[in-house]
Amino acid sequence: MTFATHTGPDLGSTPRLRAMTKPTHRTVRTNGIDMHVAEQGEGPAVVLCHGFPELWYSWRHQLPALAEAGYRAIAPDQRGYGGTDRPSAVDDYDIIHLTDDALGLLDALGEDSAVFVGHDWGAPVVWNLALRAPERVRGVVGMSVPFLPRGPMDPVQALDALFADQFFYILYFQQPGVADQDLGRDTRDTLRRFYAAISAEATAEAFRPLPREGTTLRDWLPEPGALPGWLSQADLDLYVTEFTRTGFTGGLNWYRNLKRNWERTQDLDGRKVEVPALFIAGERDPVIAMFPVAAMNEWVPDLRGTLMIPETGHWTQQERPSEVNAALLRFLSGLG
């Protein structure tokens, strides 16, 4: 079922793109929830899956570029975010729900298959989708988070042992209500710190070692002197408006399912990503320091490239849209 179609803001970055049809916005029913979707263009489907704390809007530079190149670009607010439903049960945010949302989205939009692109938390969604339903994934692009095979133990337990008495954001996010209140106390300040701290332009150290006891996320993320160049005040205002309305609980619940994800994916243990794949990340993204990018070579046999973009932080597609767009279009053109 589809309803509430309307045009969105003009996100074109050139006169030619500005002359194109603007993204349209609608709500579709998928996997038991209502999902807000931004779309632009016609042609083979490319689904763009955002991360935390982001929205469909983090793909504002990719939508028109993909549309101009002859693709149907689809950017949903994922479960728990923006205009999409936010179920109350924590268990409703595990990787099975998240990948089933993506499959239901294809059904709702009348698409048999698509290329899936995921950034940050969106990357595990698209990697796992390629494992669970390869017949519906023409290709997969992971950004910032490489493919990680299922490990031998619950990842929360592993992180708890690794960081011992040291603050680590994923562990801080585990207790329902704690981080929710911390992040929501001043939404604008939270997002300013988050976006600036792990951008290439960051001037102070994020992810610095602090004691676990008594530390909050705001303590861990330094106060930025200014917004990074890729983020305008209008961009920030849009994010702030949405997260002020929704809060952060939906996105935080994704982190609270790390143990459950491990438990529910025993059938994927040892399985490789067989579809054509691409990995993109910023060289100054602190997240890639936590994950072995080179290990993908063993687990992703049709990995067609690993692009590490210089002078780029975590918010890859927003910081370096031209480079990301060019890489996506090269990969898409090679799929036939």
Catalytic positions, written as ranges: 120, 314
DSSP state of 166: B
Buried b (16+ CB within 10 A) or exposed e, 162-176: eeeeebbeebbbbee
Q: Give how far Cα 281 sits from Cα of 2, 11, 91, 288, 293, Å.
A: 34, 23, 30, 8, 10
Structure tokens at 16: 């030619």
CB contact set of 241 (below 8 Å; sequence gap of 6+): none
Beta bridge partners of 278: 141
Parallel, antiparallel or unpaired: strands 33-40 and 45-49: unpaired
Alpha carbons 113 and 18: distance in angstroms, whole number: 29
Beta bridge partners of 24: 7, 39
Sign, Cα dihedral of 190, 194, 195, 201: positive
**DSSP per position, 201-262:** T--S-SS---BSTT--HHHHSPPPSS--TT--HHHHHHHHHHHHHH-SHHHHHHHTTHHHHH
Go through the chain and tell me how many residues it has: 336
Q: Specify whether the CB–CB gap between 298 and 271 falls below 8 A.
A: no
Q: Specify whether the CB–CB gap between 40 and 24 falls below 8 A.
A: yes
Q: Using DSSP, state whether 181 is helix, strand or coil.
A: helix
CB contact set of 193 (below 8 Å; sequence gap of 6+): 218, 221, 222, 223, 224
